[in-house]
């Protein structure tokens, strides 16, 4: 049986109710031999006991950082800790404001056990607004080839749904700390260029919170440049330069320059 450890990073001032839901829903499909690491960025948990109870019977490890170091730094520090223990076979991601759906971890574990060639596995997800209202089903390309071909056009995996075999990180790959809100996208490109194998499940196994603040954080000139840079990198390193991919990359650049509400409207229409 492959053993899973789940990495969750949250800001110290994030809503605690959402984080408890994320932990409880994730632990529900884990085994007692699995574990969850919760990293609190920029502060402490004044009352950690509710979080431990939410994870029960799965072991919850809490790590705190008094400095707000950011997602990439935090995840890399957790990865370095995890890789010191050879017991962990699969490393899963989860966000503190999302919700794992019933059976998520077990479904992904069983898929890895039946596909030993697989390295990185994501799933579809339901997108909800900040009030819990349903927005849409977000599907991703399923096969390795389709995922690779999609990389210059979009981020082809839902990061909070991803489970990764430890050999990916044993190779030395880590999240880049010099990019902004495209850390996971760059990781997929690095993994693809090194020949690691991807897949997505068509089954939605996560409720993903997507609100107006989500789009505001991902708008503006700096974020538009970051998004264009990662798409051009995918074309360059995966040898996927063509007129369509270039046109779509610059269209996405212009889309990022729009106000958050306009981005949200285009996002839902284009999906």
How does pLDDT run across 98-137, given as a tens digit for each residue?
999 999 999 999 999 999 999 999 999 999 988 888 989 9
Question: From CA 77, how far away is CA 73, in angstroms rounded?
Answer: 6
> pLDDT tier at 66 (50, 70, 90 boundaries)?
confident
What are φ and ψ of residue 238, in 5° steps?
Answer: -105, 5
CATH classification code of 4-210: 3.90.550.10
Domain ranges of the chain: 4-210, 211-271
Whole-prediction pTM? 0.92
230 or 271: which carries more pLDDT confidence?
230
Task: Indicate whether 176 pLDDT > 80.
Answer: yes
Residue 143 CA, chain-centre distance (Å), reads: 18
Model confidence at 154: pLDDT above 60: yes
Residue 6 in contact with residue 12, Cβ under 8 Å? no
Sequence-distant contacts of 146-151: CB under 8 A, at least 24 apart: 147/192, 147/198, 147/199, 147/200, 148/192, 148/198, 148/238, 148/240, 149/240, 151/188, 151/189, 151/192, 151/234, 151/238, 151/240
């Amino acid at each position: 049986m492959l053993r899973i450890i789940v990495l969750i990073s949250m800001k110290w001032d994030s809503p605690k109710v959402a984080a408890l839901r994320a932990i409880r829903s994730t632990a529900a499909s884990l085994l007692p031999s699995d574990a969850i690491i919760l990293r609190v960025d920029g502060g402490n948990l004044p009352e950690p006991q509710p979080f431990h109870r939410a994870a029960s019977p799965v072991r919850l490890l809490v790590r705190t950082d008094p400095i707000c170091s950011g997602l990439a730094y935090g995840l890399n520090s957790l990865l370095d800790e995890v890789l010191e223990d050879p017991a962990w076979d699969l490393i899963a991601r989860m966000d503190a404001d999302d919700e794992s759906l019933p059976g998520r971890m077990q479904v992904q574990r069983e898929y890895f056990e039946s596909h030993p060639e697989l390295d990185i596995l994501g799933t579809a997800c339901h997108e909800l607004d900040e009030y819990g209202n349903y927005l849409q089903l977000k599907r991703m390309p399923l096969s390795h080839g389709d995922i690779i071909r999609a990389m210059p056009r979009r981020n082809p995996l839902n990061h909070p749904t991803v489970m990764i075999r430890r050999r990916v990180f044993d190779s030395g790959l880590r999240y880049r700390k010099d990019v902004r809100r495209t850390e996971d996208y760059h990781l997929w490109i690095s993994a693809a260029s090194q020949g690691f194998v991807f897949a997505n499940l068509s089954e939605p196994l996560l409720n993903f919170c997507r609100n107006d603040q989500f789009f505001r954080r991902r708008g503006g000139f700096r974020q538009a440049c970051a998004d264009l840079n990662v798409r051009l990198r995918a074309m360059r390193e995966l040898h996927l330069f063509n007129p369509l991919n270039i046109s779509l990359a610059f269209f996405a650049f212009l889309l990022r320059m729009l106000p958050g509400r306009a981005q949200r409207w285009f996002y839902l229409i284009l999906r």
